[in-house]
Structure 1
Amino acid sequence: MQKQLISAVALAASLLASFAVQAADTAELKVKGVIRPASCAPSFTGGGVVDYGVIPASTLKAGQFTTLPTKDVTMNITCDATTKVAFKAVDNRQSSVISGLMQYPEENFGLGAVGGKNTGGYSIRMTQPTGDGANLTLLATNNNGQSWGSAAGVTKIHMFSFGNNASTPGAYKQLSAKISLTAYINKPEELDLTREIPLDGSATIEVVYL
């Protein structure tokens, strides 16, 4: 009986040693990497700042929204290879949007708030789009690119692209367009004019690869 026990222990030890040798005989080779589309970077002339300077409170008229002069900047999208892209505009001051300030709420970007009072808003028009030196059409879609149509105003509910016709986005390496921004100030009685009120609009342009 003792011999059988010793033999069983020896067999178990032998099996464990065999498994250990087998485990040591394997090694895993992993292959990693990422296939990524060409990189495209949006930018604006003037560092992306539209500055209205000092606006005297005395120029605001009671009971009325005040329209400020339209200012222009240029938006560029530069890719490291010919690429088909679109973009979205995200309002970083959405909580400060004033209802009724504009005819189309989706074009109304907020200008921030001071003391719990919303300062105003602004709209964005985009014209003169070009791609690799050729004149293009600004396109918009509200169904994630299933169909496209021509556009001018930039909204928060559409995705935009560029093409040489009114229905099909094209692929380009260098895109450019003029942005005309018009700001509106809230009615003076809706503002705390005992303090300085900065215009604090902020929107993010998000590039989408098609």
Structure 2
Amino acid sequence: MNTLTRRLTTLGLCLTATPALCASMTDITVTGTITPSACTPRLSESGIVNHGEIPARSLNQFEYTPLPGKSLELNVECNEAVLFVLVGVDNRADSSLGPGFFYGLGHNVHNPTERLGTVALAYGEVTSDGERVLVLASSNQGQTWFPETNAYPDNYMGFAKPGTLVPEPHRELKAALHIATSINAAAYLTLTQAVPLDGSIVIDLRYL
């Protein structure tokens, strides 16, 4: 795949009494990739996991409180067999209680120093074109791979037929994306007002 880069320089008239100011300029770099194939990922429920109202009195005082597990259906459709990976990007990484392993659940809006909890992702029941496939992970951007269903932040997640330890191209991939949410110990949270959970994760499809 070729990357097209264009460099744009804005030209215009400089009306000033100080000629030196006319030399000031800045550049805009426009990048992108034209791909011969394309894939479209979709999540059920529009990707929303809603735990509803959680009574503060139900939270453990000095340890995490796990909430009921949720699952979303993931479907990736490509116009032909394409080699791709899925990467979990944490938009609340600064609130994670276990960086590198868990996604953040945001901060307490009433006390921004308090981290609300963790979110864990895992892939299950994965099929490609109707056949069961193995879930692979890479923590070094695809240099090496190992079997792993947990989708840790920023890890590459690939898929291949059983017995293969290198990701393979797929035309249609289906999976259950399991979401495990836990609330931080109540002793470390100010819960005198309603506190919204604020987890935000992007599942980024990247072509290899």
Answer yes or no: is 1:141 the counterpart of 2:135: no
Q: Is the 8 A contact 1:107 1:124 kept in 2?
A: no
Runs of 4+ in structure 1 displaced over 6 angstroms? Answer: none
Which of 1 and 2 has greater Rg? 1
Could you give the per-residue CA deviations for residues 166-205 of structure 1, whole angstroms, max 9, x where no partner exists? Answer: 4121211111111111111011121121111111111111
| TM-score when normalising by structure 1 | 0.77
Name the structure with the higher helix share.
1
Residue in 2 aligned with 1:108? 102
Aligned partners of 1:143 and 1:110: how far apart in 2? 22
Aligned partners of 1:129 and 1:36: how far apart in 2? 25
Counterparts in 2 of 1:112 and 1:55: CA distance versus 1, 3 Å: same
| Structure 1 residue 143: Cα displacement | 2.8
Structure 1, unmatched stretches of 5+, are 1-33, 100-104
* SS, match of residue 166 in structure 2: coil
Answer yes or no: is 1:78 the counterpart of 2:72: no
Range with greater deviation from structure 2 (108-117 or 163-172): 163-172
Aligned partners of 1:89 and 1:37: how far apart in 2? 24
| Structure 1 residue 110: Cα displacement | 0.5
- Pairing 1:14-33 to 2, within 5 Å after superposition: none
Residue in 1 aligned with 2:203? 205
Aligned length: 172
| Structure 1 residue 35: Cα displacement | 4.6
Q: Is the 8 A contact 2:41 2:74 kept in 1?
A: yes
Q: Is the 8 A contact 2:95 2:107 kept in 1?
A: yes
Name the structure with the higher strand share.
2
- Pairing 1:30-49 to 2, within 5 Å after superposition: 35-49=34-48
* SS, match of residue 58 in structure 1: helix
| TM-score when normalising by structure 2 | 0.78
- Identity, % of aligned pairs? 31
Amino acid at match of 1:137: L
